[in-house]
Amino acid sequence: MGIIRLMDEPLSNKIAAGEVVERPTSVVKELVENAIDADSTAVEVLLIEAGLTSIQIIDNGAGMDADDALLSFSRHATSKIANEHDLFRIRTLGFRGEALASIASVSKVTLHTSDGSSGTFVQMEGGRLTEHRAGSLRKGTDIKIDQLFFNTPARLKYMKTLQTELGHTIDLLNRFALSYPGVAFKLSHDGRTILQTSGSGEIKRVLADIYGVAIAKKMIPFEGQSHDYKVSGYASLPEITRANKNYISLFVNGRWVKHYAIANTVHRAYHTFLPLERQPIVVLNIEGDPYLTDVNVHPSKQQIRLSKEKELMELIHETIRRTISTVVRAPIIDKPKPVKQAPTKQLDLWKSSFTVQEPKQQMPDRAVEDWHELPVEKAVEPVQPDPLPLDEGLPQAEPPEDDSPQFPELEVVGQIHGTYIVAQSNDGFYLVDQHAAQERIKYEYFREKVGDIDSNERQSLLLPLTFHYSRDEALRLKDNLDVLSDSGVFLEEFGETSFIVREYPTWFPKGFEQEVIEDLIEQVLTERKVDVKKLREDAAIMMSCKRSIKANHFLQKHDMERLLKDLKNAEQPFTCPHGRPVIIHFKTYDVEKMFKRVMN
Ligand code: ZN
Ligand code: ZN
């Protein structure tokens, strides 16, 4: 018998049972994993009608001999797990032997496979063998799944639109490409190429293939190591943001996983660098002993249980935050585009040249943002195999000197709209948002202040504070009074829907007791628990915002100078605590280009 063994029953019982074949994407997933496990360096996926009519996967891997080709269709056949011990040290991806058997039972399968010395052809229909003979000697496997769910019409009813099904598969292939940059992937749909990667081994190039060169240039490599884990990958500059966490790709020992807490940790690493509610693009590879990562939680193998989770979270947070902190800088205005329009179009050019990068974040490129909800025609860009140098203009972890995110030496020129300070330096001019600037300075001050006081100390109020809530909120609050008292706030019932507070922890900022307690109660009402760290952080942000000069406020020159001096001394001067930019740079060269003082 060849390399595929039959698993014995006790072992198979240990594997969480479940439906493997849910939709075309699950078939693609199983078959691509098989191709990767066979050491393929090129994997081609061809879909007709999002895979419902046909899914074909062609690889150049090890292939199978005649015995294995047949055996691969039997339940619990697997070449990957020999015994129970191996089950807990899973390195390969597709360890559940029943996958191909399940797929074959609900479709028509045609398989050509060869290990180089013998070729085999197998045809199955609804799980029954219809043909088996010698086949071509092309090394590798070419498997085609026709008419998926032809004998289980109920399944077909669960399928969403073709676009949705295709969207899932594109998403899946993107993650495969990111976790296996050394494999050349090609995905085509109804004859049209949707994704093509070079297999060069560079994640940055895969990022360009998926998100475009412009985005790939703004992805920064990171790497970190703790006692048990190693993390590495790419993180976007804060000026690139997305509306959801779908752009955070997590891989544990090469396997794409979904893990809420890790995605949250990644997002937290960007705290105050990103606008609220925005998410970064991140590729995070986690490596650790397979003993620490239990992938056997769910049959889809996408969920994972981790040991030493706290150590891992700290490592991820620290590594990404350190990397991002070194490259955060003032957004630079877009370089002017070459003019080919008639003079009447000049106004448009002027407008587009002055687009700063920040507003783009609020209006992200929809084609990239929501491709999986959009009709496929709009969603997928034709692939251009471009030889663009990706390193050009990309800030490295240790940026070159002229690109370093050091705060410039600024000379105040004046103020416009009572809102922005205009300043100059030898490399151009700058606009500083006066509110955001002061907010950053005050935030760093308050953060320190609310951070180090012992939370157990309390102080009495001369007059108790009163809080009113609706009937249902009041009921929920009464159920959770102990949660509140744990955080140092003792709410006393005062009538049916009112409460009073007579004392508060000393770290509460003076003059903001009411707001901080309301924030606290809000946390209890929505989450039924209190995160004191978050509460303190929110309080620091709120105070800095409330205590900072607003827009439409005239400033004396010496006030502005003082503000810029304090800003220069700030630990992180480029964004306000809400993640908005504080300062925008207009480079001399770019301005000269706009005025045609320089051409090219
Ligand atoms: Zn504010
Ligand atoms: Zn702000």
Tell me the CA–centroid distance for residue 466 and ligand 1, in Å: 27
Q: According to the model, what pLDDT value does residue 181 have? A: 95
| Angle, vertex CA 83, rays to CA 78 and CA 87, nearest 5 | 80
Tell me the CA–centroid distance for residue 512 and ligand 1, in Å: 16
| Angle, vertex CA 12, rays to CA 301 and CA 6, nearest 5 | 110
Tell me the CA–centroid distance for residue 562 and ligand 2, in Å: 19
Tell me the CA–centroid distance for residue 314 and ligand 2, in Å: 26
Q: Any idea which ligand is nearest the CA of 580?
A: 2
- CB distance 572 to 438 below 8 Å: no
Tell me the CA–centroid distance for residue 578 and ligand 1, in Å: 8
With tokens 């949705």, the residue in question is: 164
Tell me the CA–centroid distance for residue 215 and ligand 2, in Å: 25
Output the six-digit token pair for 480: 């959770």
Per-residue pLDDT 10s for the chain (600 aa) are 455 554 443 344 333 323 567 889 989 998 998 899 899 999 999 999 999 999 999 999 999 888 888 878 876 555 555 555 554 444 444 444 567 888 888 899 999 999 999 999 999 998 889 999 999 989 999 999 999 988 887 777 777 788 888 888 999 999 999 999 999 999 999 999 999 999 999 999 999 999 888 889 999 999 999 999 999 999 999 888 888 888 999 999 888 888 889 999 999 999 888 887 789 999 999 999 887 776 655 556 667 778 888 999 999 999 999 999 888 877 766 555 554 443 333 333 333 333 333 333 333 333 333 333 333 333 333 433 344 444 444 444 443 444 446 889 999 999 999 999 999 999 999 999 999 999 999 999 888 877 655 556 788 888 889 998 888 888 888 888 888 887 788 899 988 889 999 998 887 877 788 888 888 888 888 877 777 777 788 888 888 888 898 888 899 999 999 999 999 999 999 999 999 999 999 999 889 988 988 876
Dist. CA 255–CA 91, nearest whole Å: 9
**Which domains, and CATH codes, for the chain?**
9-200 (3.30.565.10), 204-325 (3.30.230.10), 345-444+550-594 (3.30.1540.20), 458-505+511-545 (3.30.1370.100)
Tell me the CA–centroid distance for residue 439 and ligand 1, in Å: 6
Q: Any idea which ligand is nearest the CA of 542?
A: 1
Q: Any idea which ligand is nearest the CA of 276?
A: 2
Q: According to the model, what pLDDT value does residue 19 have? A: 53
- CB distance 212 to 230 below 8 Å: no
Tell me the CA–centroid distance for residue 322 and ligand 2, in Å: 22
Tell me the CA–centroid distance for residue 273 and ligand 2, in Å: 11
- CB distance 433 to 567 below 8 Å: no
- Residue 312 dihedral angles phi and psi, to the nearest 5°: -65, -45
Q: What is the DSSP letter of 4?
A: P
Tell me the CA–centroid distance for residue 240 and ligand 2, in Å: 18
Per the confidence metrics, is the pTM higher than 0.85?
Answer: no
Q: Any idea which ligand is nearest the CA of 436?
A: 2
Tell me the CA–centroid distance for residue 405 and ligand 1, in Å: 23
Tell me the CA–centroid distance for residue 546 and ligand 1, in Å: 7
Tell me the CA–centroid distance for residue 273 and ligand 1, in Å: 14
Q: Any idea which ligand is nearest the CA of 578?
A: 2
Tell me the CA–centroid distance for residue 199 and ligand 2, in Å: 43
Tell me the CA–centroid distance for residue 288 and ligand 1, in Å: 42
390-394 LR contacts (CB < 8 Å, sep 24+): 390/202, 390/204, 390/205, 390/208, 390/213, 390/216, 390/217, 392/217, 393/217, 394/217, 394/218, 394/219, 394/220
Question: Would residue 88 be called left, alpha or beta, if left means φ above 0 and alpha means ψ between -120 and 50 degrees?
Answer: alpha
Tell me the CA–centroid distance for residue 546 and ligand 2, in Å: 10
Q: Any idea which ligand is nearest the CA of 579?
A: 2
- CB distance 431 to 584 below 8 Å: yes
Tell me the CA–centroid distance for residue 414 and ligand 2, in Å: 22
Residues near ligand 2 ion, CB 5 Å cutoff: 439, 576, 578
Tell me the CA–centroid distance for residue 576 and ligand 1, in Å: 8
Give the sign of the dihedral formed by CA 182, CA 184, CA 187, CA 193: positive
Q: According to the model, what pLDDT value does residue 72 have? A: 80
- Strands of the 583-587 sheet, one edge to the other: 411-416, 420-425, 428-433, 583-587
Tell me the CA–centroid distance for residue 525 and ligand 2, in Å: 25
Give the sign of the dihedral formed by CA 448, CA 454, CA 459, CA 465: positive
Tell me the CA–centroid distance for residue 111 and ligand 1, in Å: 62
Which one-letter amino acid corresponds to residue 361? Q
Tell me the CA–centroid distance for residue 442 and ligand 2, in Å: 11
Tell me the CA–centroid distance for residue 438 and ligand 2, in Å: 9
- Residue 131 dihedral angles phi and psi, to the nearest 5°: -155, 145
Q: Under DSSP, is residue 369 helix (H, G, I), strand (E, B) or coil?
A: helix
Dist. CA 156–CA 167, nearest whole Å: 17
Tell me the CA–centroid distance for residue 223 and ligand 2, in Å: 30
With tokens 């072992």, the residue in question is: 11
Tell me the CA–centroid distance for residue 581 and ligand 1, in Å: 12
Q: According to the model, what pLDDT value does residue 89 have? A: 44
Dist. CA 81–CA 70, nearest whole Å: 18
Tell me the CA–centroid distance for residue 368 and ligand 2, in Å: 27
Tell me the C-alpha to C-alpha distance, in Å, between residue 247 and each of 84, 145, 271.
36, 30, 17
Tell me the CA–centroid distance for residue 548 and ligand 2, in Å: 10
Give the sign of the dihedral formed by CA 28, CA 29, CA 31, CA 36: positive
Output the six-digit token pair for 284: 């995070």
Q: Any idea which ligand is nearest the CA of 544?
A: 1
Tell me the CA–centroid distance for residue 532 and ligand 1, in Å: 22
